[in-house]
Amino acid sequence: MKKLLSIIGLTALLFTSCSKDNDTILVEAEGKATVSFDAVFGSQDFALNKDLTSGTKTFNFTRFRYWVSNVILVNSKGEEYKVPNSYFLVEETAAVPVQDGVFTYPATKREDVVLSNIPLGDYKTIKFSIGVDQKYNDNLSLQTGELSQLNGMTNVSWMWMTSYIFSSVGGKVTENGTSKTLLVETGLNANYKTVTLDLPQAVKISSAKDTKIALNADVEKTIDGVDVLTNPVVSASKAAIMTAVATNYSTKVFSVKSVN
Protein backbone atom coordinates (compact mmCIF):
# COMPACT_ATOMS: atom_id res chain seq x y z
CA MET A 1 0.00 0.00 0.00
CA LYS A 2 2.84 2.35 0.90
CA LYS A 3 4.52 1.46 -2.40
CA LEU A 4 1.28 2.27 -4.28
CA LEU A 5 0.98 5.63 -2.53
CA SER A 6 4.60 6.38 -3.35
CA ILE A 7 4.01 5.65 -7.03
CA ILE A 8 0.89 7.85 -7.05
CA GLY A 9 2.80 10.63 -5.30
CA LEU A 10 5.71 10.39 -7.72
CA THR A 11 3.32 10.44 -10.69
CA ALA A 12 1.58 13.53 -9.32
CA LEU A 13 4.96 15.22 -8.78
CA LEU A 14 6.04 14.44 -12.33
CA PHE A 15 2.70 15.68 -13.70
CA THR A 16 3.03 18.91 -11.72
CA SER A 17 6.58 19.39 -12.97
CA CYS A 18 5.52 18.80 -16.58
CA SER A 19 2.64 21.23 -16.17
CA LYS A 20 5.01 23.88 -14.85
CA ASP A 21 7.45 23.21 -17.65
CA ASN A 22 4.67 23.38 -20.21
CA ASP A 23 3.44 26.64 -18.73
CA THR A 24 6.94 28.05 -18.98
CA ILE A 25 7.23 26.92 -22.57
CA LEU A 26 3.92 28.56 -23.42
CA VAL A 27 5.03 31.85 -21.87
CA GLU A 28 8.44 31.71 -23.50
CA ALA A 29 7.01 30.83 -26.92
CA GLU A 30 5.60 34.31 -27.62
CA GLY A 31 6.69 37.93 -27.52
CA LYS A 32 5.51 41.30 -28.76
CA ALA A 33 6.69 44.22 -30.83
CA THR A 34 5.64 47.84 -31.15
CA VAL A 35 5.65 49.31 -34.64
CA SER A 36 5.78 53.10 -34.56
CA PHE A 37 4.70 55.14 -37.60
CA ASP A 38 6.38 58.53 -37.20
CA ALA A 39 4.77 61.10 -39.52
CA VAL A 40 7.20 63.48 -41.22
CA PHE A 41 7.01 65.89 -44.15
CA GLY A 42 10.21 65.48 -46.08
CA SER A 43 12.93 66.57 -43.64
CA GLN A 44 10.40 68.43 -41.47
CA ASP A 45 8.48 67.19 -38.45
CA PHE A 46 4.83 66.71 -39.33
CA ALA A 47 2.12 68.39 -37.27
CA LEU A 48 -1.44 69.51 -37.86
CA ASN A 49 -2.18 73.22 -38.35
CA LYS A 50 1.48 73.96 -39.06
CA ASP A 51 2.86 75.50 -42.27
CA LEU A 52 5.09 73.03 -44.09
CA THR A 53 6.91 73.84 -47.32
CA SER A 54 7.58 71.76 -50.42
CA GLY A 55 9.28 73.74 -53.18
CA THR A 56 7.13 76.80 -53.84
CA LYS A 57 4.08 75.33 -52.11
CA THR A 58 2.99 75.73 -48.50
CA PHE A 59 0.83 73.06 -46.90
CA ASN A 60 -1.21 73.20 -43.73
CA PHE A 61 -2.79 69.85 -42.80
CA THR A 62 -5.84 68.97 -40.74
CA ARG A 63 -5.65 65.18 -41.14
CA PHE A 64 -3.41 62.26 -42.02
CA ARG A 65 -5.10 58.87 -41.67
CA TYR A 66 -4.60 55.41 -43.12
CA TRP A 67 -5.38 51.77 -42.46
CA VAL A 68 -2.48 49.40 -41.76
CA SER A 69 -3.63 45.82 -42.28
CA ASN A 70 -2.48 42.22 -42.54
CA VAL A 71 0.92 42.65 -40.92
CA ILE A 72 3.49 39.96 -41.71
CA LEU A 73 6.87 39.41 -40.07
CA VAL A 74 9.50 37.40 -41.94
CA ASN A 75 12.13 35.62 -39.85
CA SER A 76 15.78 34.94 -40.64
CA LYS A 77 14.80 31.60 -42.23
CA GLY A 78 12.41 33.29 -44.63
CA GLU A 79 9.32 32.00 -42.79
CA GLU A 80 6.34 34.34 -42.58
CA TYR A 81 4.27 34.97 -39.48
CA LYS A 82 0.92 36.55 -40.32
CA VAL A 83 -0.33 38.59 -37.36
CA PRO A 84 -4.00 37.60 -36.82
CA ASN A 85 -6.72 40.27 -37.01
CA SER A 86 -4.16 42.99 -37.68
CA TYR A 87 -6.21 45.97 -38.80
CA PHE A 88 -5.06 49.26 -37.29
CA LEU A 89 -6.08 52.86 -37.91
CA VAL A 90 -3.01 55.12 -37.78
CA GLU A 91 -3.94 58.77 -37.69
CA GLU A 92 -3.41 62.34 -36.71
CA THR A 93 -6.64 64.26 -37.07
CA ALA A 94 -8.91 66.93 -35.69
CA ALA A 95 -12.47 65.95 -34.75
CA VAL A 96 -14.26 64.24 -37.66
CA PRO A 97 -18.07 64.38 -38.14
CA VAL A 98 -19.43 60.91 -38.93
CA GLN A 99 -22.78 60.01 -40.54
CA ASP A 100 -23.61 63.62 -41.43
CA GLY A 101 -22.75 64.84 -37.96
CA VAL A 102 -24.79 62.27 -36.03
CA PHE A 103 -21.56 61.18 -34.36
CA THR A 104 -18.25 63.00 -33.91
CA TYR A 105 -15.02 61.04 -34.01
CA PRO A 106 -12.73 62.83 -31.51
CA ALA A 107 -9.42 64.47 -32.36
CA THR A 108 -6.84 61.71 -32.23
CA LYS A 109 -3.12 61.11 -32.64
CA ARG A 110 -2.07 57.49 -32.91
CA GLU A 111 1.32 56.33 -34.20
CA ASP A 112 2.02 53.09 -32.33
CA VAL A 113 0.73 49.64 -33.21
CA VAL A 114 1.34 46.75 -30.81
CA LEU A 115 1.76 43.27 -32.27
CA SER A 116 1.22 40.54 -29.68
CA ASN A 117 1.71 36.77 -29.46
CA ILE A 118 4.58 36.72 -31.94
CA PRO A 119 6.61 33.47 -32.02
CA LEU A 120 10.09 34.02 -30.61
CA GLY A 121 12.84 34.46 -33.15
CA ASP A 122 14.89 36.84 -35.27
CA TYR A 123 12.92 38.81 -37.86
CA LYS A 124 14.42 40.58 -40.85
CA THR A 125 11.46 41.97 -42.82
CA ILE A 126 8.10 43.55 -42.09
CA LYS A 127 5.21 43.61 -44.54
CA PHE A 128 1.86 45.37 -44.21
CA SER A 129 -0.85 46.66 -46.49
CA ILE A 130 -2.39 50.11 -46.74
CA GLY A 131 -6.15 49.80 -46.89
CA VAL A 132 -8.62 47.01 -46.23
CA ASP A 133 -8.65 43.75 -48.18
CA GLN A 134 -11.62 42.84 -50.35
CA LYS A 135 -13.29 40.45 -47.90
CA TYR A 136 -13.90 43.22 -45.36
CA ASN A 137 -13.95 46.14 -47.76
CA ASP A 138 -16.94 44.71 -49.63
CA ASN A 139 -18.91 43.90 -46.48
CA LEU A 140 -18.84 46.46 -43.68
CA SER A 141 -20.95 44.19 -41.47
CA LEU A 142 -17.87 41.98 -41.01
CA GLN A 143 -15.62 43.30 -38.29
CA THR A 144 -12.18 42.32 -37.06
CA GLY A 145 -9.30 44.16 -35.47
CA GLU A 146 -10.14 47.86 -35.36
CA LEU A 147 -12.44 47.91 -38.38
CA SER A 148 -15.54 49.96 -37.69
CA GLN A 149 -17.98 52.19 -39.56
CA LEU A 150 -17.82 54.76 -36.75
CA ASN A 151 -14.37 56.13 -37.42
CA GLY A 152 -14.95 58.49 -40.34
CA MET A 153 -13.02 56.21 -42.71
CA THR A 154 -15.96 54.78 -44.64
CA ASN A 155 -17.44 56.38 -47.71
CA VAL A 156 -20.56 56.03 -49.85
CA SER A 157 -19.22 57.64 -53.01
CA TRP A 158 -16.71 55.06 -54.25
CA MET A 159 -18.63 54.41 -57.47
CA TRP A 160 -21.92 54.03 -55.51
CA MET A 161 -20.39 51.40 -53.24
CA THR A 162 -19.98 51.72 -49.50
CA SER A 163 -16.49 50.69 -48.44
CA TYR A 164 -13.48 51.87 -46.48
CA ILE A 165 -11.35 54.88 -47.23
CA PHE A 166 -7.82 53.44 -47.28
CA SER A 167 -5.95 56.70 -46.70
CA SER A 168 -6.84 60.35 -46.28
CA VAL A 169 -4.72 63.50 -46.35
CA GLY A 170 -6.53 66.80 -45.88
CA GLY A 171 -5.81 70.47 -45.33
CA LYS A 172 -4.85 73.44 -47.48
CA VAL A 173 -2.21 74.08 -50.14
CA THR A 174 -1.01 77.56 -51.17
CA GLU A 175 1.24 78.70 -54.01
CA ASN A 176 1.81 82.25 -55.27
CA GLY A 177 -1.19 83.54 -53.35
CA THR A 178 -3.56 80.86 -54.63
CA SER A 179 -5.01 78.53 -51.98
CA LYS A 180 -6.99 75.34 -52.42
CA THR A 181 -8.68 73.01 -49.95
CA LEU A 182 -6.85 69.70 -50.12
CA LEU A 183 -8.39 66.25 -49.72
CA VAL A 184 -6.51 63.34 -51.26
CA GLU A 185 -7.98 59.92 -50.51
CA THR A 186 -7.54 56.34 -51.71
CA GLY A 187 -9.96 53.45 -51.71
CA LEU A 188 -11.39 50.65 -53.89
CA ASN A 189 -10.07 47.09 -53.99
CA ALA A 190 -7.70 47.71 -56.88
CA ASN A 191 -5.78 50.20 -54.74
CA TYR A 192 -5.13 47.84 -51.85
CA LYS A 193 -1.31 47.89 -51.79
CA THR A 194 1.35 46.06 -49.80
CA VAL A 195 4.52 47.60 -48.35
CA THR A 196 7.66 45.48 -47.86
CA LEU A 197 10.51 46.84 -45.73
CA ASP A 198 13.76 45.04 -45.02
CA LEU A 199 15.14 45.89 -41.58
CA PRO A 200 18.77 47.12 -41.28
CA GLN A 201 19.42 44.23 -38.94
CA ALA A 202 17.35 41.34 -37.67
CA VAL A 203 15.30 42.12 -34.56
CA LYS A 204 14.87 39.55 -31.82
CA ILE A 205 11.36 38.92 -30.57
CA SER A 206 11.65 37.87 -26.95
CA SER A 207 9.27 37.49 -24.03
CA ALA A 208 11.77 39.42 -21.92
CA LYS A 209 11.42 42.75 -23.73
CA ASP A 210 9.23 44.80 -26.03
CA THR A 211 10.95 45.07 -29.40
CA LYS A 212 10.41 48.33 -31.24
CA ILE A 213 10.41 48.96 -34.99
CA ALA A 214 10.27 52.68 -35.83
CA LEU A 215 9.17 53.70 -39.33
CA ASN A 216 8.94 57.08 -41.03
CA ALA A 217 5.68 57.89 -42.82
CA ASP A 218 6.41 60.76 -45.21
CA VAL A 219 3.26 62.79 -45.92
CA GLU A 220 5.03 64.71 -48.69
CA LYS A 221 5.56 61.45 -50.59
CA THR A 222 1.85 60.60 -50.53
CA ILE A 223 1.20 63.29 -53.15
CA ASP A 224 4.46 62.90 -55.05
CA GLY A 225 3.81 63.49 -58.75
CA VAL A 226 0.33 64.94 -58.17
CA ASP A 227 -0.46 68.51 -59.25
CA VAL A 228 -2.45 69.33 -56.13
CA LEU A 229 -3.40 72.84 -57.25
CA THR A 230 -5.03 71.44 -60.38
CA ASN A 231 -6.35 68.36 -58.56
CA PRO A 232 -6.73 69.34 -54.89
CA VAL A 233 -9.50 66.76 -54.37
CA VAL A 234 -8.72 63.16 -55.29
CA SER A 235 -11.36 60.46 -54.94
CA ALA A 236 -12.94 57.70 -57.03
CA SER A 237 -13.84 60.10 -59.83
CA LYS A 238 -10.12 60.57 -60.50
CA ALA A 239 -9.19 56.92 -60.68
CA ALA A 240 -5.78 57.29 -62.34
CA ILE A 241 -4.56 59.85 -59.79
CA MET A 242 -5.93 57.77 -56.94
CA THR A 243 -4.00 54.74 -58.18
CA ALA A 244 -0.82 56.84 -58.40
CA VAL A 245 -1.30 57.96 -54.80
CA ALA A 246 -1.92 54.37 -53.66
CA THR A 247 1.29 53.33 -55.41
CA ASN A 248 3.12 56.12 -53.57
CA TYR A 249 2.02 54.57 -50.29
CA SER A 250 3.38 51.17 -51.26
CA THR A 251 6.70 52.36 -52.71
CA LYS A 252 7.68 55.80 -51.35
CA VAL A 253 5.94 56.81 -48.15
CA PHE A 254 7.39 54.36 -45.62
CA SER A 255 10.99 53.77 -44.61
CA VAL A 256 12.75 52.22 -41.62
CA LYS A 257 13.89 54.76 -39.04
CA SER A 258 15.35 52.43 -36.39
CA VAL A 259 14.97 49.04 -34.72
CA ASN A 260 15.89 47.69 -31.30
Domain positions in the chain are 30-259
Is the pLDDT assigned to residue 3 strictly greater than 80? Answer: no
Question: At residue 18, what are phi and psi to the nearest 5 degrees?
Answer: -65, -40
Instruction: Write out pLDDT tens, residues 132-188.
Output: 999 999 999 999 999 998 888 998 778 778 999 999 999 999 999 999 999 999 999
Classify burial at 163, counting beta carbons within 10 Å of its beta carbon; exposed 0-12, middle 13-18, buried 19 or more. buried
Predicted confidence band of residue 10 (pLDDT cuts 50, 70, 90): very low
Instruction: Write out pLDDT tens, residues 15-56.
Output: 444 444 443 334 457 899 999 999 999 999 999 999 999 999
- Whole-model pTM: value is 0.87
- For residue 64, the cross-strand partners are 92, 169
Classify burial at 35, counting beta carbons within 10 Å of its beta carbon; exposed 0-12, middle 13-18, buried 19 or more. buried
Per cent of the chain over pLDDT 90 is 77
